[in-house]
Structure 1
């Protein structure tokens, strides 16, 4: 039996700027059908928040052009500027010779033209409210903020896709040089209080609680993003199963719902290779 092709099933991006204009950063991530994640990011020392939002989306589209990806997949972003620019304003700008309705030159034209060329059939933009507990948006924001402050955060490199090279349009800020043998390195006041992996886990668990409390139904792709399991594994599930402190219950329409169990429950899904 031929091995299943690993595909990108979800993506997210965000931008940040300290000062606006000022030093900025962007962050993005790709989720694959085998449960792996690839993160990327970069910085610009003199930019705006909008330029970083556009740069993050451009990096994702350029990466997706060289990767198998699920038809109809969405790039999640909290930037209405990005979504409205591509979906609503672009055609009018081009008709008017890259002028706005007021007759002014379109800002960030270089990035808009690059985004227009990089569009991919079957890939859409989806809006998510910023700082609302969405784990992928929160992670991209953390990457973008770190780069905007001159730090190089640790980025996830999906083990299943290490042979794929994903390039960033804006070069990442290089890590600070190691202190010399006789130097005493001062502590970095900007270091996060917890490792990124734990921060991501907390965001996922908090989101799971909110989804359970609201009784929301999740598609297979959404569930795979939350529990970080391969989509192919979830497609084989038919009955209720346990994930951490939640029962995952099948719904009649093919979706799944979380139900909170007792905190610290010892029950858990024990399928090999899942987490």
Structure 2
């Protein structure tokens, strides 16, 4: 599978209790429109550390991709954005002390961010929960891991990220706690109405990588249950003749909404044929018909 050029990252962190169980999410957008999603969890952490952990994962991916194209990293954490672009130089000059002479919090992660930071990265703040699709998705991934679950995701990825994903899953890499849960990886297939031979090979490769990452059986079963639940819902929608919107269908398929609307008026998905029925206001309504 050919390499892809990274266009942007969306990062987010979540924590239940703060401190408490936490999760981080990373959405990687490529110039060809494809998307890779990564997430992880820690048993006891803080929201700031999870925000930083997501950014560290993004920088590790960029380093492994070895591309020369600039990338924008979006974060809804002013702590992360201002820390890496404004405060860190002063902290380093003062021996990792604040202006009050106190030790900088989360120094281990700040040092990792500083070491991995690249002049290819443009750090940008995006307001959380404001409807930004990338930010909302990163938040959903982080929140799922923080709550002890994981999103139901298709498990494949571009070949040029294999090294990065292996590194991120290594608890001994600086910046990753030894309590970090195994990373969940997902690749959302490019906007196409049929499964290509390249995508088939990608899914096979992804299965091998997941085995290499030694994901716990419980996590694999949880992901499978999530998939089965999505398929059950699709079957009920088809049997009852319900109409669903593009955004609802995208959530069901776990793809971007644009991947639904760009496929045309009539196309196959798993055990169903999806057909465009009509438009109501700003919404396109779709119907699912079961085919075995």
Q: Supply the distance in 2 between the matched residues of 1:140 and 1:79 (Cα, whole angstroms).
A: 12
Write the deviation string for residues 186-226 of structure 1: whole angstroms up to 9, x where unpaired.
xx9x99x979xx9xx63999xxxxxxxxxxxxxxxxxxx98
Whether the aligned pair in 2 keeps the contact of 1:14 and 1:26 (CA below 8 Å) is: yes
Q: Which residue of 2 aligns with 1:202?
A: 247
The correspondence for 1:78, drawn from 64, 70, 76, is: 76
Alpha-carbon RMSD: 3.8
Q: Which residue of 2 aligns with 1:44?
A: 42
Distance 1:44 1:86, change over 3 A: same
Is 1:33 aligned with 2:53? no
Q: Which residue of 1 aligns with 2:273?
A: none
Shift of 1:151: 1.3
Distance 1:32 1:68, change over 3 A: farther
Unaligned runs of 5+ in 1: 179-184, 206-224, 230-241, 246-259, 267-275
Q: Which residue of 2 aligns with 1:177?
A: 218
Write the deviation string for residues 231-256 of structure 1: whole angstroms up to 9, x where unpaired.
xxxxxxxxxxx9589xxxxxxxxxxx
The correspondence for 1:63, drawn from 61, 79, 82, is: 61
Unaligned runs of 5+ in 2: 169-175, 183-214, 235-245, 251-255, 265-279, 287-292
Q: Which residue of 2 aligns with 1:164?
A: 161
Distance 1:90 1:202, change over 3 A: same
3-12 or 41-50: which moved more? Answer: 3-12
Whether the aligned pair in 2 keeps the contact of 1:27 and 1:140 (CA below 8 Å) is: yes
Greater strand fraction, Structure 1 or Structure 2: 2
Q: Supply the distance in 1 between the matched residues of 2:123 and 2:247 (Cα, whole angstroms).
A: 26
Alignment of 1:7-156 (within 5 A): 7-69=5-67, 71-156=69-154
TM (normalized to structure 1)?
A: 0.63
Q: Supply the distance in 2 between the matched residues of 1:262 and 1:135 (Cα, whole angstroms).
A: 17
Q: Which runs of 4+ in 1 moved over 4 A?
A: 156-159, 173-176, 242-245, 260-263
Q: Supply the distance in 2 between the matched residues of 1:129 and 1:15 (Cα, whole angstroms).
A: 13
TM (normalized to structure 2)?
A: 0.59
